[in-house]
Amino acid sequence: MGSNGPRPDPFDLDDPTGALPDAVWQYLALGAALLVGVALLSQSLVLGVATLALLLALVTVVSAVEIVDAYDREALTVFGEYRTLLEPGIHLVPPFVSRTYAFDMRTQTLDVPRQEAITRDNSPVTADAVVYIKVMDAKKAFLEVDNYKKAVSNLAQTTLRAVLGDMELDDTLSRREEINDRIHDELDEPTDEWGIRVEAVEVREVSPSREVQRAMADQASAERRRRAMILEAQGERRSAVEKAEGDKQSNIIRAQGEKQSQILEAQGDAISTVLRARSAESMGERAIIERGMETLEAIGQGESTTFVLPQELTSLVGRYGKALSGSDVQDMEGLEAKAFDEETEKLLGLEDIESSLEEMESYEDADMSSREDVELEAETEQPGR
């Protein structure tokens, strides 16, 4: 089996077996086989030779057979010279003189340690990130770079500090996507030469210093107070506008009511004036008729048998008879009321007055009918009358 990466990892005293490459195991197994064979040769020549041959064959087979996993590619070197890239499956390689280096072709995650940087406006910040990489060309990753994981991690650290140092504090806190894109673009070109593709970069956290955090908290508090004052002022202004609008509508309605009241009052005065005029006219005509009848009565009591009556008096008698009998014996013109012209009727609103008079007459008729009904009911209740 190949070692993980282009170079074997350093020897770890806590885990000595996990740090040894395959070539060391091959040499150790060969040495152990030789010791066992020499020990057996000292006792029996035939048994020693057979055992030594068997052990050498087993070690040779194990050293010559290389199994590559489905997600790996392995670089093969013979006597230190690069020969080929082993695909997934079983391969036969020269025993004892070849070495293989495995490369994982899946997407791998590199944790970028927390870095400290000074922004362009001289504010200290700390940030950490995660880089997702994938080996696209195992040959370049083996020949062009010593340890591609370590190289990508160190390059990401320096790039993260440079990007943060080129931005202001507010931008580092609010433009996380821009930071990710800039780091990705900076890593993309050099890693292509190593056969590595940077798939994504995610900045996990950007933290300013404590002093800056306190200043930001004070600034946020002041901003909230400012917005509260603005909202309160806007509310007061809106309330004043609504109140003024309400007062305006109230004044308009009040003015319309006063106007309507004045119109109705004027119409009432006009109706009253017309009614008084008609009443006075009717009373004057009645007085003339009564005075005329008294004159006729006085003439009738005289001794003379011949009377000379003026035309006005005959007209007066005819009108009196019409009033008494309701007949239309003669049209009288002497005391008829004069009609108003159109302008005067329009000014006095006589059309509305006529309709109002008709309504009053209908109310009087209804009142009279109701009184007659009441009288009839009273008569039925008192049969003795």
What is the residue extent of each domain of the chain? 3-103, 108-208, 350-385
Q: How confident is the model at residue 367 (pLDDT cuts 50, 70, 90)?
A: low
| E strand spans, the chain | 3-4, 65-68, 72-78, 81-86, 89-92, 98-104, 108-118, 124-135, 196-208
pLDDT tens track for 279-312: 666 666 666 666 666 666 666 666 666 655 555 5
pLDDT at 109: 93
What is the percent of the chain where pLDDT is above 90? Answer: 25
Region class of 96: left (phi > 0), else alpha (psi between -120 and 50), else beta: left
pLDDT tens track for 26-49: 666 666 666 666 666 666 666 666
**Is a pLDDT exceeding 80 seen at residue 19?**
no
- Looking from the CA of 194 toward its CB, the CA atoms found within 13 Å total 23
User: CA of 196: how far to CAs of 84, 159, 183, 376, in Å?
Assistant: 19, 17, 15, 121
Q: Do the Cβ atoms of 149 and 110 come closer than 8 Å?
A: yes
Count of beta carbons in the 10 Å neighbourhood of residue 195? 20
**Is a pLDDT exceeding 70 seen at residue 184?**
yes
Q: Which two tokens stand for residue 336?
A: 């008829």
pLDDT at 63: 82
Q: Do the Cβ atoms of 116 and 181 come closer than 8 Å?
A: no
**Is a pLDDT exceeding 70 seen at residue 379?**
no
pLDDT at 104: 93
Integer Cα distance of 253 and 246 in angstroms:
11
pLDDT at 216: 72
The CATH fold assigned to 108-208 is Tetrahydropterin Synthase; Chain A (3.30.479)
Task: Name the more confident of 100 and 357.
Answer: 100
Task: Name the strands in the sheet holding 72-78, side by side, starting at the edge strand that comes first in the sequence.
Answer: 3-4, 98-104, 72-78, 81-86
Residue with tokens 């070109």: 189
